[in-house]
Amino acid sequence: MTGLPALPETECLGDSMPAALAGMPDPTRAEFTGRFEHDLTQVFARRHAVAVSSGTTALHTTLSAIGVGPDDEVLLPALTVIMTAQPIVQLGAKPVFVDSDPDTLDLNYADAASKVTARTKAIVPVHLWGRMGNPANLRAFATERGLTIVEDAAQAAGTSRAGVPAGAVGAAGCFSTKDGKILWSNEGGFVLTDKADLAAHIRAFRGHWLTPPPGSRPQEHLGLPGRMPELIALLAQANLQRFPALLERRRAQTAYLLRALADARGLTPLQPATDETWNHYSPLLHVDLPHPRAFAEYLAQLGVPSSTGSFRLVPCDTRPMFTGGDRAPCRGAAEILDRTLAIVLTERDDEATLDRYAAAITREAAAWHA
Ligand SMILES: Cc1ncc(COP(=O)(O)O)c(C=O)c1O
């Protein structure tokens, strides 16, 4: 079986640490954050990049920048993590969950259309597992209804569809660099946008509105403690230099594991769309076995981590704080999560680890009757 490309060099990660420490503590310093932002604009070919403390903060600052506030409604897929919904609630707006299509993982636009009201302000597509929906359909839907698109591209750095990179479909793309992401820095996030006014608002909002955008005064609004720490920015910038190699490694790891599982009983790899360049964030398998969630949870106990087995990912509309309304549950999202085994990888997973995962999954799938 073809092996993996070598683990990208890790020595460079600590290279700038002594210089950074020598300049500390200096509360006015944002040198590494600035460098990271500059490099992001080059690597992702966007006009503006703003580094923040997390992917959740990226969404929070961006939704604030497009004017989401009390009484607004924001559409988002139920097929997501709680962190997509949280900033909407914190801004006083209402998250309105939209179902997904089990055949494509894309939004169910008929369901989305039925949930648009006069209060709907924005739509937040989520490229879960790095998989990206059709950008033309999304733009057409949003334009027709006057909605702003803010992408939750937390897991999707490196994916594109029909030539449109994740994060470049609408007004802004929000990314996380939390460990586990292909571009990681322990914690952190960033926003990519071509709109100067949004970038300026996000910069002000991430730091208590101390550096206001043009036309505003310091502290005219409240903001967040949402800056990216300098040491994290240093790590993020070093990993950004490694990003092509990190992406290549993740693609190879996912392909390796899927090849090793080609004959596993009841498991079929999910294929990306023909016009999709997928970052291969997570090996994705459709599970055609009884009680597929219990299967994922059992595998997690055996040391094979997955979204549902390890992190108990469920549709966001079924989280306790969002239930109780009169909305029907998003059944497509539930079906996708119940029936998808999404293996969690990091760059350090080598052939031996992936072989161990493949052996455990193949053995347990063959024996699974529960
Ligand atoms: C799809 C998605 N959205 C948002 C987030 C939030 O990012 P963070 O954990 O950096 O706040 C994550 C993080 O895992 C995510 O996977």
Residues 231 and 276 in one domain: no
Rounded average pLDDT over 231-248: 96
Same domain, residue pair 281 and 212: no
In which band, very low, low, confident or very high, does the pLDDT at 3 lie, cut at 50, 70 and 90? confident
Q: Based on the structure, what is the number of domains in the chain?
A: 2
Phi first, then psi: give them for residue 193, nearest 5 degrees: -155, 155
Q: Of all protein residues, whose CA lies closest to atom 12 belonging to ligand 1?
A: 154
CB 48 within 8 A of CB 17: no
Residue nearest to atom 15 of ligand 1 (CA): 154
Per the model's pLDDT, the better-predicted residue between 369 and 229 turns out to be 229
Cα 366 to ligand 1 centroid, rounded to whole Å: 34
Q: What is the mean pLDDT of residues 167-178?
A: 98
Ligand 1 is surrounded, with C-beta below 6 A, by: 54-56, 80-81, 83-84, 126, 128, 152, 154-155, 176, 178, 189
- The CATH number for 26's domain is 3.40.640.10
Q: Do 252 and 292 reside in the same domain of the chain? A: yes
- Strands of the sheet containing 120-123, edge to edge, are 48-52, 189-193, 172-176, 148-152, 120-123, 73-77, 94-98
Residue 326 has pLDDT above 80, yes or no: no
- pLDDT grade for 9, boundaries at 50, 70 and 90: confident
Does 79 have pLDDT greater than 90?
A: yes
Strands (DSSP E) found in 21-92: 48-52, 73-77
**What average pLDDT is seen over the chain?**
96
Domain with 352, as residue range(s), is 243-367
Helix/strand/coil for 342: strand
Residue where one domain finishes, among candidates 186, 216, 241: 241
Q: Which pTM does this prediction carry?
A: 0.97
Q: Is the pLDDT of residue 1 over 60?
A: no
Closest of 236, 257, 243 to residue 299, by C-alpha? 257
Crossing angle of helices 351-367 and 243-260, in 10° steps, is 30
**Distance in angstroms (rounded) separating the CA atoms of residues 152 and 126:** 5
Residue 5 lies in a domain: no
pLDDT band at 10 (very low <50, low <70, confident <90, very high): confident
Number of other CB atoms surrounding residue 185 within 10 Å = 27
* CATH number of the domain enclosing 322: 3.90.1150.10
Average pLDDT over residues 243-251: 97
- Burial label, 90 (beta-carbon count in 10 A; 0-12, 13-18, 19+): middle
Q: Give the H or E element holding residue 150.
A: strand 148-152
Hey, which of 53, 56, 82 would you mutate to test ligand 1's pocket, going by the most ligand atoms within 8 Å of its Cβ? 56
Q: pLDDT band at 370, cuts 50/70/90?
A: low
